[in-house]
Chain A
Amino acid sequence: METLGIYVPRLVTKRQGFTPGHRACSGCGEALAVKLVMKALGRNVIVVMSTGCMEVISTQLPYTAWEVPWIHTLFENSAIVASGIEAGMKALNRKGTPLPKAKVVAIGGDGATFDIGLGAISGAFERGHDFLYVCLDNEAYMNTGIQRSSATPFGASTTTQPAGKVSMGQSTWKKNMPAIAIAHDIPYVATACPSYPFDLMNKVKKAAEIEGPTYVHILSVCPTGWRIPTDMTIRLGRLAVETGVFPLYEVENGKYTLNYDPPRLRPVEDYLKPQGRFRHLTPKMVKKIQQRVSVEYASLKEKAASG
């Protein structure tokens, strides 16, 4: 991945479907991710959004931050509603009602994607609807008060699994959602992070152009839930990638490409240490996490090398 310095960002469009003035916490990585996604998609989109942080902060009656057609769905059925819209548009076109070309985009948080809406997403992928699913992964139910989800990483302290004398925080490993998406044999799956804005925008653009179901998984740092200072958002996203905790890759028709492969990975400790939710971790647990990250990164690298 090329590092595009301070000049290229001035060439990025200033138009966006997601306007400022919403009520996200300061330093929100998720709002940044949505902004970049909307910049990449342009105006010809229909957005379907699950309940979650982004829905709550952007559409408080009587205001809205969206300048595109936007539908709020329940936690579980954004993929279902998106499939319905896509099928409806197809039917209208077939019956001779001319419609402008528009891409259907479903956006959901990690709770909506990993836990509650997984069945619906799986179904929509399997039926092969032409839509883009964007998962904004902030690794817990941040909107309702930092409850654990199946996206919460091992060892993280949440309000439902707090670290203390009895428990050491989250006791299970993070579910590998991109791998589940890849297993559906859909044309395009990618992981991205707003700390690498050009990479994110390229991937979303690419996914939107492909016909068929596509999935983009975005790690969005949450200063409130991860217990970090609000100015650390971008750096923590970069650290997640540079330590190998959240590698950036894309899978096109089964072909893996590792987008960012530094000469050597940073130790996981660099990523864990600034975060309050990992404050209680013992060196033994950090070592355990490091081992797991190394193994997973190596297997991903192998897949990318074999194509």
Chain B
Amino acid sequence: MITISIDGQELKAKEGQTILEIARENGIYIPTLCYHENLSPYGACRLCCVEIFKGGRSRIVASCLYPVEEGLEVKTNSPHIINNRKMIMELLLARCSQNEVIKKLASEMGVEQSAFKAKYLENEDCILCGLCVRACEQIVERSAISLVNRGVNREVAPPFLEPSADCIGCGSCAYVCPTGAIKMEDKDGTRVVYARNWEKEFKLKKCKKCGNYWAPEEQLEYIREKLNLPPDFFDVCPNCRESVP
């Protein structure tokens, strides 16, 4: 067991945990956009920055990546940190000036308008946090989308901006996206997963018994092959699979 202090509170932690995890466990608020507890930390949004004091000096670190150590002193709301977060928020607001999530978070921090003007990306929704990329890689294990290009051209995209052959239409990227840049819609037997610069359409499987659509065909085919199930295994939906007594 390690003892650290966050905002003057003495807290117990296990070795290997990060500052953010300890703070969340103890109800200390640190804003984040790119953190998800079931995915590896990435440190993209920098909103979770905190000030740590060690050996008479202080520095600013991303709390989602910084492992705790004995006697660490952390401050989550010093003036330095608040200024830092406000600057990050202003930059995000310049990029996503129309996004409701970003606007709400900014106004919570007291940022109403950005001092910056985005030349290229005024109505972007994506903040390049990489959650969708990590979810596709670590949860679905397909890596259908990734972060491509550099600098101002950096974006989330499937290879060559064409509908990815690896995408199975599970919707994890749309679910995990904090700003709603990736969307998913089911309508009349088709599912569309789309973002500003790419989209892929999926045919949904129709249940042979009840006639309702219940999952994308490609996803079922992938699961069927992976688990070596018989070819007609997914012909009926889970409700009809076992006959209702």
Contacts and interface: CB of A to CB of B under 8 A. Distances in A.
Q: Which 3 A-B pairs have the closest CB atoms?
A: A7-B170, A8-B175, A2-B186
Given A2-B171, A4-B171, 20 more contacts: A2-B186, A3-B186, A3-B214, A5-B170, A5-B216, A5-B219, A7-B170, A7-B172, A8-B171, A11-B36, A11-B39, A11-B172, A14-B37, A239-B244, A242-B212, A263-B211, A263-B212, A270-B244, A273-B245, A274-B245
8 contacts: A2-B171, A3-B213, A6-B223, A8-B175, A13-B37, A235-B244, A239-B244, A242-B239
A290 to B, nearest CB: 16
Interface string B145-176: 00000000000000000000000001110011
Interface in B108-148: 135, 139-140
Contacts of B219: 5
Interface in A265-300: 266, 270, 273-274
Contacts of B186: 1-3
B244 to A, nearest CB: 6
The size class of the interface chain B forms with chain A is 20 to 34
B228 interface: no
Interface in A1-57: 1-8, 10-11, 13-15, 43-44
B139 A2 contact: no
B214 A11 contact: no
Given A2-B191, A5-B219, A15 B37 contact: yes
Given A239-B239, A263-B211, A4 B37 contact: no
B38 A10 contact: yes
Nearest to B210: A266
Interface residues of A, number: 27
A4 B170 contact: yes
A238 B37 contact: no
Contacts of A7: 139-140, 170-172
Nearest to B108: A101
A235 B191 CA distance: 24
Q: Is the interface of B mostly helix, strand, loop or mixed?
A: mixed
Contact of A8 (B172, B191, B211, B239): B172
Nearest to B39: A11
B102 to A, nearest CB: 16
A242 B210 contact: yes
A262 B213 CA distance: 8
Interface string B210-245: 111111100100010000000000000011000011
A15 B26 CA distance: 12
A94 interface: no
A95 interface: no
Contact of B27 (A1, A43, A242): A43
A165 interface: no
A274 B244 contact: yes
Contacts of B244: 235, 239, 270, 273-274
A5 B172 CA distance: 9
Contacts of A198: 175
Interface in A48-77: none
B239 A11 contact: no
A264 B211 contact: yes
A226 to B, nearest CB: 14
Contacts of B215: 3, 5
B184 interface: yes
Contacts of B213: 3, 263
B185 to A, nearest CB: 8
Contacts of B27: 43-44
B104 to A, nearest CB: 10
B115 to A, nearest CB: 28
Given A7-B140, A238-B239, A2 B184 contact: yes
Contacts of B212: 242, 262-263
- Among the interface residues B175, B213, B216, B245, which one has the most CB atoms of the partner chain A within 10 A? B175
A15 B140 CA distance: 21
A6 B223 CA distance: 10
A67 to B, nearest CB: 11
Contacts of B172: 7-8, 11
Interface string B172-209: 10011000000011100001000000000000000000
Contacts of A43: 27
A274 B245 CA distance: 6
Contacts of A44: 27
